[in-house]
């Protein structure tokens, strides 16, 4: 068959399939026959509707078309989607389960975006309509069969994830993790109200990391993170312990400590200067100086001047 004839047949196949399967009554009969009986038993096919849009990539629309049906559950607790992929090409695709997974996720994302939900998700049941040259369909319909290590994919199916929950992990357990204890201990306690109370724990993690020959750049990254996340006075006890007990880190930490000291001084000067400006503006207003003159002299915003005027009342 010539390419033109093949392309024409594909087009006619698409037109015929869609003509039947976008007719609600025909679609309902098709699904009652071909869907898993358990799936049919939980869905109210009388509520079947067709959703707008396609999930097929532009370069594949010649070979596939799709229809998304929406249906209510019989118990009315949620809706569900049925994703129909109509395959026009004569050659089946081995990675079809992966393609189907992408389409399912796209449908779920659209549902979330449309309905602004963060609770229970609807199921998306896929169905591929195939009439290719090879019979029967030559490839697996289960995504697990695509993986080299089926034992792992059975143990941890797609969408399931392992969890490292630092919030419930004990400090003693973390300190058994060698160099990683530095990362885990810092992240676990970074939000604690009084960071000085966990300085000893952080120091213990630092010492273990040093003992186990952690790269200096990783230690520096941890310290830089702490400097951005916590106030200077909170880090002082930790830095003092490191400077006193770990000679290899002494120089670097002293540099960090000096940066914190300078930062604290600048902040104090800035706060003091601002306090003085506010005091000056308050006194000028108190003695009846025009507001426009006070604003020009103090460089304060109108909002700040309004706050000062309120304090005079």
Q: What is the mean pLDDT of residues 264-272?
A: 52
Regarding whether 30 and 121 lie in a shared domain, the answer is: yes
Instruction: Decide if 210 is inside a domain.
Output: yes
Sheet hosting strand 79-87, strand order edge to edge: 43-51, 64-73, 79-87, 123-129
Same domain, 177 and 147: no
* 74-129 pLDDT, tens digit each: 998 899 999 999 987 767 899 999 999 999 999 999 999 998 877 789 999 999 99
Same domain assignment for residues 66 and 88: yes
Same domain, 44 and 94: yes
Tell me whether residue 166 is exposed, middle or buried, using C-beta atoms within 10 angstroms of its C-beta: 0 to 12, 13 to 18, 19 or more. Answer: middle
Residue 55 lies in a domain: yes
pLDDT of residue 124: 97
Same domain, 87 and 213: no
The model scores a pTM over 0.85: no
Residue at 137 is within a domain: yes
Q: Based on the structure, what is the number of domains in the chain?
A: 3
Residues 148, 239 within the same domain? no
Residue 12 within any structural domain of the chain: yes
7 and 87, same domain (yes or no): yes
Residue range(s) defining the domain that contains residue 287: 248-313
In this structure, is residue 41 part of a structural domain? yes
Residue 254 domain flag: yes
Dist CA 50 CA 76 (whole Å): 18
């Amino acid at each position: 068959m010539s390419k033109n004839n093949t392309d024409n047949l594909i087009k006619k196949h698409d037109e015929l399939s869609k003509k039947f399967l976008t007719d609600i009554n025909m679609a309902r009969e098709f699904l009652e026959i071909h869907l898993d009986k358990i799936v049919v038993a939980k869905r109210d096919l009388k509520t079947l509707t067709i959703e707008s849009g396609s999930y097929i990539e532009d370069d594949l629309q010649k070979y596939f078309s799709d229809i998304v049906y929406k249906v209510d559950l019989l118990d009315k607790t949620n809706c569900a989607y049925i994703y129909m992929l109509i395959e026009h090409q004569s050659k089946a695709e081995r990675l079809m389960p992966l393609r189907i997974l992408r389409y399912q996720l796209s449908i779920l994302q659209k549902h979330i975006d449309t309905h602004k939900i963060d609770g229970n998700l609807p199921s998306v049941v896929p169905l591929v309509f195939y009439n290719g040259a090879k019979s029967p369909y030559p490839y697996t319909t289960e995504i697990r069969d695509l993986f080299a290590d089926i034992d792992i994919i059975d143990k941890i199916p797609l969408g399931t994830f392992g969890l490292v929950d630092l919030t419930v992990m004990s400090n003693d357990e973390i300190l058994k993790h060698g160099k990683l204890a530095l990362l885990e201990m810092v992240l676990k306690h970074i939000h604690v109200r009084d960071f000085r109370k966990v300085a000893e724990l952080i120091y213990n993690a630092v010492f273990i990391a040093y003992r186990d020959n952690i790269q200096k750049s990783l230690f520096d990254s941890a310290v830089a993170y702490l400097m951005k996340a916590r106030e200077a006075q909170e880090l002082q006890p930790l830095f003092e312990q490191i400077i006193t007990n770990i000679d290899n880190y002494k120089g670097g930490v002293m540099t960090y400590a000096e940066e914190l000291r300078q930062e604290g001084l600048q902040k104090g000067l800035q706060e003091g200067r601002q306090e003085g400006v506010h005091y000056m503006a308050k006194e000028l207003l108190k003695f009846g100086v025009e507001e426009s003159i006070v604003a020009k002299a103090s460089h304060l915003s109108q909002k700040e001047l309004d706050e000062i005027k309120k304090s005079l009342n």
